[in-house]
Every structure is written in structure tokens, then in C-alpha cells.
Amino acid sequence: MKVTKKKLKLKEPFVKVLKVLGVIFLLLIGVFIFYRKEINELKDIGYSEKASNNILFKNKKDYILSLGENKTLNAAFESDYYNEKYLEDYSRINYVKQDDLIRNINKLLNKGYTNSDISLILKHGTSKEVSDFVKHEKVQYLEEFFNVSYAKLSNYDRYLNYSYETGEDEETTVLYVNLNLDKAPYDDAVEVEKFSYDMVVNKYRKLNEKFEPKLVKIKEEYASSEGMMAEAVALNAFIKMSKDASKEGLGLIINSSYRSYQDQVDIQETYRNLYGDSYVEKYVAKPGFSEHQTGLAFDIGSTTSNVFANSKEYAWMLDNAYKYGFILRFPKKYEDITGFRSEPWHFRYVGTKISKYIYENDITLEEYYALFLDK
């Protein structure tokens, strides 16, 4: 009996502790359920777990709920660089997926850029370019250049210099600078390594000595001399075009197609001996800078007229070549963009999607490149 009583006495405080623990436990569960509900409210409108936690921790839930989904705010609340005084700004700056986004936004705000300036800056540069740009002292003419869709943040200084020196409007400035036309031709040209039907080779974009596309022989009936070669898809497109032209009583013939790097070296020498340095400098593409090395370019002649520019074939091609994937590569009116003097006979295969766009919008391959390919 004595032993049992003792045992019961020992149990009572223990039960009390258990009861207290139980109440605490239930409270904790309650708090946890409440907390999860709050988090889920934020997650439901598009905030991440991490951002939602920080929103609650910083006591900004009501503010966030009043705004709804906002990716820049989400990034801000995820970031270690979140700065309370910029909260309103974050909500008004367009989101882009970039490393260091919030850190860069803070720095740009600190320099006095407006929210719309910052949205423009972020839109036109990569994370790295934006990080470089924030080191730049505050610039003036942002909208002027960056309202052009393909303007590049990293080119800002060049835009400014070019428009100042030439007096060109912003759109022309952005285009020309993106095409490197503010630099001397052939100087630090980019090397184009991969073959593609939309590849651009010009005085600023070169091929190396070894570049060679897959080539097929051109049958004699389509060429003015033996042994010419071209890229197969481009050649087939030419053949189809030539057959359709002949149904209309026209005769198209290939005078020149693929030329190797070495061929271009030889051509340069021939012309140098005939006409001298300044002629070559002006009219002959340097080795590596000729589109003929791609296998996609054709110098076309007429079987009915000696001067192609005056021929019915030329007129027909101006209206129809695009249907077969060809463009007139060096039109007279665009000499300053292509960097080559007008060559009515020189057509380039780019595929029908691009040729149609270029034809309908009356632009050059360079402009197409600046618009869509230069990423």
C-alpha cells in the first residue's frame, strides 16, 4: 500500500507537465497551420516559398496582397540585397530573368535612374552587361536609343559617338553600330564558324581559311563554265528557279558560285595586277570576307542579254527570286549598309522564310540579322 501511494504522488506533477506540453503542442500546431495559410495565400498569387517567408518576416503581406503577382517583387524578397526603401520601385520595374537583378536595380536607383529607365536598361542587356553598365556614370540619352528594339546596352557609348559624329537618327545609329559600321571594314572582324543558311558574311564577319561548306557539282547546263560547285540546297533552289524562268522564255545561268579562300586570294591578285591596289581595296572582297565561300552565293547571268542589269532575267528575278529563297544581296540603295557596291548579278540563298521577309520589308540581310539573328 505504501508503495502504491508513493507511486501515485509521483505521477501527479508528471501529468501536469504532460498537460502543459500538450497545450503548447496544440498552440504550436495552431500557429503552424495559421502560418502555412499565410504562406499559401502568397504562393497562390505567384510568390515563391522563400519570397513568401521573407514577405511575412518583413511584415509586408498586406502590401503584397494588394499588388498581386509581381515577379520583380518576388525576386526582391528572394534576394539578400532587398532594400526596404526601394520597395515601391521594385514593384514598377519590369522583371527580367537575370543574376544580380536586385543588386543591379539598387545600384541603378542609387544613381538616380527612373523606374522606366531601369526597365529599358534591363531589357537591352545581359546580366553581365547590366553589371558593367552600373559602373558607367549616369547616361543621358537612354530612351532615344533603347526604344529601338534591338539596341544593345553594351553599345551605348558607340551609339552616342556615332550619332554625334554623323548626325544620324537613333534608329540608323543603332543599326549601323550593331553592324559595326562605325568601325573600319576588316578591322577586328568576327569569325563566323558554323555553316547555316542564314549565315552573314561581310566586311565585318569573316570565314577562316579552312571554312568549306558541303558542296556538289553544278551540271553544265546551269553554268557558264565547267567544274563549278555550290551548296546542294541552294543549288536545287536555283535549278527550280531556272526551270520556272525558262517556262517564261528566260535564261538564267550561273557565272560564279562557290569560291574557296584560295580562289579569292587569286582573284585579288589578278585584279591587283590589272587595276592596282585602290581598285582591289574598293571592289574586291578580301579572302575570308566573300560570301562566295559559303557556297550560297551565285553570280547570275542572262542567256538573252549581255548586261544583266538591263536584262529581262534581272527584272524577273527582282520580282520572283524570293519565292525560291534568294535575295538580291547588294542593292544599289543599300550600299552603305552592305558595305559593297551594287552587284545586280549577285544573289544569295537564305531560304524562303528569310527571303520573303527581306523582300516584303525591303531590307538587307544585314538588317534582318540585326533584327532577328544577332542574339
Position closest to Zn ion via CB = 346
Interaction of residue 201 with Zn ion, rule CB under 5 A = no
CA separation for the pair 14, 41 (Å, rounded):
40
To Zn ion, the closest distance from the beta carbon of 71 in angstroms equals 49
To Zn ion, the closest distance from the beta carbon of 233 in angstroms equals 18
Q: Sort residue 30 into left (φ over 0), alpha (ψ -120 to 50) or beta.
A: alpha
* Cβ distance to Zn ion smaller for residue 146 or 345: 345
Element (H, E) at 269: helix 261-275
To Zn ion, the closest distance from the beta carbon of 348 in angstroms equals 9
Annotated catalytic, 291?
no
| Options 343, 360, 366, 367, the catalytic residue | 343
Q: Is 327 helix (H, G, I), strand (E, B) or coil?
A: strand
How many residues touch Zn ion under the rule CB under 5 A: the total is 2
- By CB under 5 A, the residues from 302 to 361 that bind Zn ion are 346
* Cβ distance to Zn ion smaller for residue 82 or 324: 324
To Zn ion, the closest distance from the beta carbon of 340 in angstroms equals 9
CA separation for the pair 335, 293 (Å, rounded):
21
**Contact (CB, 8 A) for 183 and 204:** yes
- 182's CB contacts (< 8 A; 6+ apart) are 158, 161, 162, 176
**Contact (CB, 8 A) for 238 and 349:** yes
* Cβ distance to Zn ion smaller for residue 54 or 256: 256
* Cβ distance to Zn ion smaller for residue 258 or 316: 258
* Cβ distance to Zn ion smaller for residue 158 or 329: 329
CA separation for the pair 339, 341 (Å, rounded):
7
Residue from 78, 129, 231, 299 in contact with Zn ion (CB under 5 A): 299
CA separation for the pair 70, 330 (Å, rounded):
47
To Zn ion, the closest distance from the beta carbon of 312 in angstroms equals 21
Residues at the contact surface with Zn ion, assessed by CB under 5 A: 299, 346
Residues catalogued as catalytic: 343
